[in-house]
Structure 1
Amino acid sequence: MSVVLYHWPISPPPRTVLAVSKAIWIDATCLNIGGHVIPTYLVSRYGKDDSLCPKDLKMRALVDQRLYFNATALFPRIKNTTTSIIFFGKRSVDADAKAAIYKALGILEKYLEPTGWVAGDRPTVADISCSVSTGRMKVRDT
């Protein structure tokens, strides 16, 4: 199965879609997308099973909650900081922005503590999404 999607290559949401596409073995060509909801659609539509996006309502609610956390807290905090550096030439991260990122990372660590996975006891789209959001971070105490 081949799917054509549209995206901006350095943006984490489309990279999440590409990572999920690889996880469910579909050939996705991305051109310009930006939605956080596409990975769950792809898994629901093309996935061979529900391992990445559970059908069990309690587990699905947990996965969805962690996806919303990424979309509303983790990703925006990282994006706002990196956008200032990449596009506007900012040379440092102000203390409030750094504290906000560390707070979101602390929550993510709490999610990971029980099992090593973001939601439940196996990898899900929430793990892929959060790992893509944080994957290019380099933390320095400067």
Structure 2
Amino acid sequence: MSGIKLYYHIISPPSRFALLTCKMLGLDVEEIEIDLLAGKQYTQEFRDINPTQAVPALVDGDIKIFDSSAISIYLVEKYAKDDSLYPKDLELRTKVNERLFYTSSYIFPRGYAIIVGSIKGTLTEIPQDKINEVLRGYECIEYFLKDSEYLAGSTFTLCDLFLWCLMESANQIVPIDEKRFPKFLGWFNKVRSENEFFELNKKGADLHIDIFNKCLERNRQQSEKKE
């Protein structure tokens, strides 16, 4: 058994990002599922591993890492056989970082707000202003892809992997419009068709969105009872 432990849940896009990084690197990792719906992320035991009480988290010997981008960068730097996922060339790496951090700092929080507003809140439908914020992110991705096949150039890197993990969920809530975002949709379909872990990513996303839809319906029913 490997000394690397990944704490995750398949419904979480950042968890899938870390998990797929492990699998693309061919790493032997102990996968430990944290039951988010049962609140297992709030135990003291898990807080000692990840102070933010969220997934994913990685333990590699004495090293503990809780951010999915930091986890994936660490794994590539330490264990990858080449630099294809995270180039060593400074200019190219900076572009990968730029798009990776944009995904984590803008696109992910907008989707997270919608999901959490349903699962933990009282959201009965997605507000148009929330949809508009997501679409603004899509516009940026479309622009990133105007002169390149992938987000940071001609090869698939970590920024593509993270965005793909997010989009398997997000595309089911705010679809990528073919007329408005043709390059983005082309990228999405290309990445899905090329990656051997497509079924794993889609399975987690489908479960994620199924829970979201059920929570929306629950909230609608509760709202109707109050009226």
TM surpasses 0.5: yes
Indicate the residue corresponding to 2:29 in structure 1.
Answer: 28
Indicate the residue corresponding to 1:42 in structure 2.
Answer: 75
Question: SS at 2:29's partner residue?
Answer: strand
Which segments of 5 or more consecutive residues in structure 2 lack a partner in the other structure?
33-55, 58-65, 178-227
C-alpha deviations, 1:65-101, integer Å up to 9, x for none? 1111011001111111111123324221112111000
The AA in structure 1 aligned to 2:102 is: F
Q: State the TM-score, normalized to the length of structure 1.
A: 0.89
Indicate the residue corresponding to 1:85 in structure 2.
Answer: 118
Tell me the CA shift for residue 39 of structure 1. Answer: 0.6
- Give the greater-gyration-radius structure (CA): 2
Q: State the TM-score, normalized to the length of structure 2.
A: 0.58
Tell me the CA shift for residue 42 of structure 1. Answer: 0.6
Whether 1:124 aligns to 2:160 is: no
Work out whether residues 6 and 19 of structure 2, in 8 Å CA contact, stay in contact via their aligned partners in 1.
Answer: no
Relative to 1, partners in 2 of residues 1:100 and 1:56: Cα closer, same or farther, differing over 3 Å? same
Which segments of 5 or more consecutive residues in structure 1 lack a partner in the other structure?
none
Indicate the residue corresponding to 1:94 in structure 2.
Answer: 127
How do residues 59-70 of structure 1 correspond to structure 2 at under 5 angstroms? Answer: 59-70=92-103
> Mean Cα displacement is larger for which, 64-73 or 110-119?
110-119
Question: SS at 1:120's partner residue?
Answer: coil
C-alpha deviations, 1:18-47, integer Å up to 9, x for none? 111111111233335241311111111111
> Mean Cα displacement is larger for which, 100-109 or 131-140?
131-140
How do residues 46-57 of structure 1 correspond to structure 2 at under 5 angstroms? Answer: 46-57=79-90
Indicate the residue corresponding to 1:74 in structure 2.
Answer: 107
Work out whether residues 148 and 154 of structure 2, in 8 Å CA contact, stay in contact via their aligned partners in 1.
Answer: yes
Partners of 1:92 and 1:78 in 2: how far apart? Answer: 14
Work out whether residues 70 and 129 of structure 1, in 8 Å CA contact, stay in contact via their aligned partners in 2.
Answer: yes
Partners of 1:15 and 1:128 in 2: how far apart? Answer: 9
Indicate the residue corresponding to 2:18 in structure 1.
Answer: 17
C-alpha deviations, 1:96-128, integer Å up to 9, x for none? 111000001111122123222111110000000
**Larger RCO (alpha carbons 8 Å, 6+ apart):** 1
Question: SS at 1:118's partner residue?
Answer: coil
Indicate the residue corresponding to 1:4 in structure 2.
Answer: 5
Question: SS at 1:27's partner residue?
Answer: coil
